[in-house]
Amino acid sequence: AGKRQLSGPLRYDPALDSASAQTLSLLTELRHAVEHHELRLYLQPKIALHGQPGLAAEALVRWQHPQRGLVPPMEFIPFAEQTGFVRQLTLWMFEEVCRWLATPAARHLPLRVSVNLSTRDLLDPELCHRLAALLARYGVAASALCLEITESAIMDDPQRAEAMLNRLSEHGFKLSIDDFGTGYSSLAYLKRLPVDELKIDKSFVMGMESAGDDALIVRSTIDLAHNLGLTVVAEGVETQAILGHLRSLSCDEAQGYAISKPLPAADYLVWQTRQG
């Protein structure tokens, strides 16, 4: 069979006879991508808005596809979640971050990198062991990593998520609730979880300077997080005006295009150095 032209992983390809052949083919491609080093680690800086500037970043995957160029995660993560392949992707990402943290340039810096977990990872009884084994292999401390779990992934199966978060927290990982505000968790429930950070969903942050309730939602989320003793991060900060507004609301940290786009891992420390 000749190489087929890819226009989008989930689009119908008449050269294949069924939807399951499509699925199989993308799965094969993703496996190939991991084995042939086509996935790339990108890091997006997170900055402190008050006090001591720490060195923090979120790890985001990109697929450097030989034909299609740089493929954004939204074109393959949902598929990877449906098929369960995302568990391998999480391990790939976690190992890549550990490897990077162990490099001579990064090893002695007080860095903290956030890695995204998926719903599937929360159901994997082997997850803690596997992550701990990778930390040991690279000599990286669990406290150098923060694990981001979306509010909706937690609310999918709250009891199970709570048990998993407890185990991860006992291993020393920092934990963050991602896309906060979109998953309908209750306050009582939130209080029980061993999390360190709330990350306000970018849909609210991006709308802060427009009419409507977004600024109010951001302000109440910041207050809620602080009342629970949690660090609060705003993501999707696209303008200096929003950055200033967040600072005046005592938000702790910010991440977004106004600060920096996600960078190839090799460029992150260069960016950091330029910040002085």
Answer with the entry of Ca ion, ligand C2E, none that 231 interacts with (C-beta below 5 to 8 A by kind).
Answer: none
The 8-class DSSP code of residue 3 comes to P
The structure tokens 């990286």 sit at 140
| Residues within window 132-161 making contact with Ca ion, judged by CB under 5 A | 148
What span, in angstroms and rounded, lies between the C-alpha atoms of 119 and 161? 9
Q: How far is the CB of 61 from ligand C2E (least distance, A)?
A: 4
Contact pattern for Ca ion over residues 43 through 82, marking x by CB under 5 A? ----------------------------------------
What span, in angstroms and rounded, lies between the C-alpha atoms of 117 and 125? 14
Show Cβ contacts of residue 221 under 8 Å, excluding neighbours closer than 6 positions. Answer: 180, 181, 198, 200, 204, 232
CB 247 within 8 A of CB 219: no
- Site of interaction with ligand C2E (CB under 6 A): 44, 60-61, 72-74, 77, 86, 89-90, 93, 116, 118, 178-179, 202, 235-238, 256-257, 262
Q: Between 86-101 and 127-138, two packed helices, what is the crossing angle to 10 degrees?
A: 20
Nearer to ligand C2E, 71 or 193 (CB): 71
Nearer to ligand C2E, 13 or 65 (CB): 65
Q: How far is the CB of 74 from ligand C2E (least distance, A)?
A: 5
What span, in angstroms and rounded, lies between the C-alpha atoms of 227 and 46? 22
Among residues 186, 182, 225, 187, which one has the least CA distance to residue 204?
182
Q: Judged by CB under 5 A, does residue 116 bind Ca ion?
A: yes
Answer with the entry of ligand C2E, Ca ion, none that 61 interacts with (C-beta below 5 to 8 A by kind).
Answer: ligand C2E
Answer with the entry of Ca ion, ligand C2E, none that 147 interacts with (C-beta below 5 to 8 A by kind).
Answer: none
CB 33 within 8 A of CB 65: yes
Answer with the entry of Ca ion, ligand C2E, none that 45 interacts with (C-beta below 5 to 8 A by kind).
Answer: none
Nearer to ligand C2E, 16 or 239 (CB): 239
Contact pattern for Ca ion over residues 164 through 193, marking x by CB under 5 A? --------------xx--------------
Q: How far is the CB of 264 from ligand C2E (least distance, A)?
A: 13
Q: Is 248 helix (H, G, I), strand (E, B) or coil?
A: helix
End-to-end CA distance of the chain: 54
Answer with the entry of Ca ion, ligand C2E, none that 96 interacts with (C-beta below 5 to 8 A by kind).
Answer: none
Nearer to ligand C2E, 108 or 185 (CB): 185
Which amino acid does the sequence have at 153?
A
Q: How far is the CB of 176 from Ca ion (least distance, A)?
A: 8
Among residues 48, 53, 61, which one has the least CA distance to residue 148?
61
